[in-house]
Amino acid sequence: MISQNILLTIALAPLFGAIVAGFFGRQIGRAGAHWVTILGVAISCALSMKVLYDLVYGGAPTFNQNVYTWFEIGSYSAHVGFLVDRLSAMMMVVVTFVSLLVHIYTIGYMADDDGYQRFFSYISLFTFSMLMLVMSNNFMQLFFGWEAVGLVSYLLIGFWFKRPTAIFANMKAFLVNRVGDFGFLLGIAAVLYWFGTLDYGTVFANTAVIEGKSFAPWDGASWAIPTFIGVCLFIGAMGKSAQVPLHVWLPDSMEGPTPISALIHAATMVTAGIFMVARMSPIYELSETALAFVLFIGATTAFFTGLIGIVQNDIKRVVAYSTLSQLGYMTVALGVSAYAGAVFHLMTHAFFKALLFLAAGSVIIGMHHEQDMRKMGGLRKYMPVTWITSWIGTLALVGTPFFSGYYSKDSIILATEAAAHSGGWVQVYAKWAVLLGVFVTSFYSFRLLYLTFHGKERFRDAHAHDDHAHADAQGSTAKVGHEEAVGHDKHAVEGHHVHDAHAHDDHDHHGPVEPHESPWVVTVPLILLAIPSILIGYFTVGPMVFGDWFGNAIVVREAHDTLAIVGEEFHGPLSFGLHFIASPVFWLAFAGFALATFIYLFKPAVATQASKLFALPIRVLNNKYGFDDLWIKGFAGGGVKLGRFFWKRADAGLIDGVVVNGSATLVDRISGIVRTLQSGMLYHYAFAMILGLIALLGALIWAVR
């Protein structure tokens, strides 16, 4: 039996740590801040594991109760409550475990930062917000957690708030997510309108109320209610989980410190949208159109954002575009009703993506804050732990047989192929997108490894020149007021600002850069994340993907059950792993590995020749298909221009000119005329009274007649 007190402790322990570190950081000091937040998240993680154990092995029933009433308006009452089944319990363990390791890692990474206590407060608050989201039993509390993770991500992306690029990045994330959240709020409002409640259990039990029903927003229009709700909710997921075209904020989130990059990309904000759609599976199963929309967006994101990762030279941005691509894979799984596969990939991805981000941060520390991979090389002998764990994370990401990513990614690809056999053009498009995405993922992943850890030690040559004279021009250029460079200017990247996590800057001295392995508080989390990156897929793929592990938490109609088709050929994780020989997925990944190895390990000159040969495609990829221009110059810039037009025409011209100043001028002129009648002569006033009396008598006589 799951106790309500345990669930309250899980949710509130990180909040307590955030409050203490945030409000009393000066009193408790740096050590006090990290210990109170780590203890809070550790308690939450341990209890989350106990809850998951009780559900899976202890026979505990699903917990679904309201804790207290939030507010009441008429017949509607909003509650704070918990729905804890295997889906939410698995998410709780992933969120708290990754967050715990990020907290420990932060001790080393942010050791010399002035905002040390503030950072620990923020990441602990982030954990609380995500827990409230995944544990909620109603849409209102879901929206609270949804907005809370958005708020904390805003604070963390702009953590170094004296950097213009950080402020631009967090504002960009905030505004883009507001677009998605508008659709999300419409979906929640639609649920309340047609179901009369926001409680999950009541809504999911009464989906027949909207099945096959439609409404007419205007004459001649007919919209299916399940489609409207599903699409609106997914627009919110597009913002949070960074799906095209609402993906533009996620690469710029690299402006925040590396620990928060790992937390956002692996276990918190971007996974919220995937979890939400899986939780809403009873609604999505009612609409083929909504599923097709989800599938198309996911497939587009999986392939096209992965291509951008090929041309990135900032080590963190390569991993960031990898996250975009993998989120696309999860969304594709949702679109073919393989919800279990999506959530399974979410879980495995959380471990190896957190590993890759934290390893990238370790490289940045070891390279004295350098992030450009072209100025690295040969680091494996200086940073052996980071090198080995980076290889493990990469092998998991590309889907190497028997690694965790192999089981989760291949399950999604096979489910998509099953959907393509009996589906339309969207399903066929998705099939090819995820297949080609395998090659792309493998290529840019091994490119990162070779440029960073293998080959010539380019960091010595790079330091011999003035790095400040070779700012990397790739990335977007955005307007903040007038012209302001955003992207990869080396003065703007994480290691080259006055408020870096480490006080010194190697550009201040003239000796050669000597890389070094990171301290144990950085390397231990890497090792602990490497273990599930290898093993967790093997031991959980059977029950979670092809079994009934999630029970009633996920609903799939028989006609949509693509995982059941794939499961007919599943005969255990060993057999599934050995199947790679006959799988085109493996050979596509191997082709990406072989090409990256040939170019970046044996023939580096080929990369220079290819950059000239493919100059136009590379320019398009560096420009990110123009999406930044669309949002910054089109959407945001258009909004500013529209605002200025209305300010000049409506506010200054109509309101100020006519209503305010015009009425004042009119009163002034009338009063000027009236003032001339005030002569001060008594006989003038007597004469006016006589005229008035005559007029009054005349009016009365006329009225009587």
What would the pLDDT profile of 427-468 be if each residue is shown by its tens digit?
999 999 999 999 999 999 999 999 999 988 887 775 544 443
| Residues 6+ positions from 172 with CB-CB distance below 8 Å | 248, 249, 252, 631, 632
| Residues 6+ positions from 205 with CB-CB distance below 8 Å | none
Secondary structure (DSSP) of 43-89? HHHHHHHHHHHHHHTS-PPPEEEEEEEEEEETTEEEEEEEEESHHHH
Number of H helices, E strands in the chain: 29, 6
Beta carbons of 371 and 494 less than 8 angstroms apart: yes
Beta carbons of 77 and 69 less than 8 angstroms apart: yes
Question: Of 174, 80, 182, which is closest to residue 133 (Cα–Cα)?
Answer: 80
> What was the pLDDT predicted at 120?
94
**pLDDT interval class at 516 (50, 70, 90):** confident
pLDDT at residue 479 above 50? no
- Indicate the helix (H) or strand (E) that contains 130: helix 116-135
> What was the pLDDT predicted at 399?
92
More confident residue, 639 or 327: 327
Question: Of 437, 426, 436, 428, which is closest to residue 291 (Cα–Cα)?
Answer: 426
For the segment 150-189, what is each residue's pLDDT rounded down to a tens digit?
999 999 999 988 888 899 888 888 989 999 999 999 999 9
pLDDT at residue 529 above 50? yes
The mean pLDDT of the chain is: 87
Q: How far apart are CA 593 and CA 443, in angstroms?
A: 6
Query: Average pLDDT for residues 554-562, to the nearest whole number?
Result: 92
Beta carbons of 66 and 78 less than 8 angstroms apart: no
Instruction: Lowest mean pLDDT of 331-340, 431-440, 480-489, 618-627, name the range.
Output: 480-489
> What was the pLDDT predicted at 131?
96
* E strands, 431-560, in order: 477-480, 482-485
| Residues 6+ positions from 316 with CB-CB distance below 8 Å | 254, 258, 261, 357, 360, 361, 364, 371, 494
For the segment 381-426, what is each residue's pLDDT rounded down to a tens digit?
999 999 999 999 999 999 999 999 999 999 999 999 999 998 899 9
**pLDDT interval class at 91 (50, 70, 90):** very high
Beta carbons of 148 and 132 less than 8 angstroms apart: yes
More confident residue, 5 or 76: 5
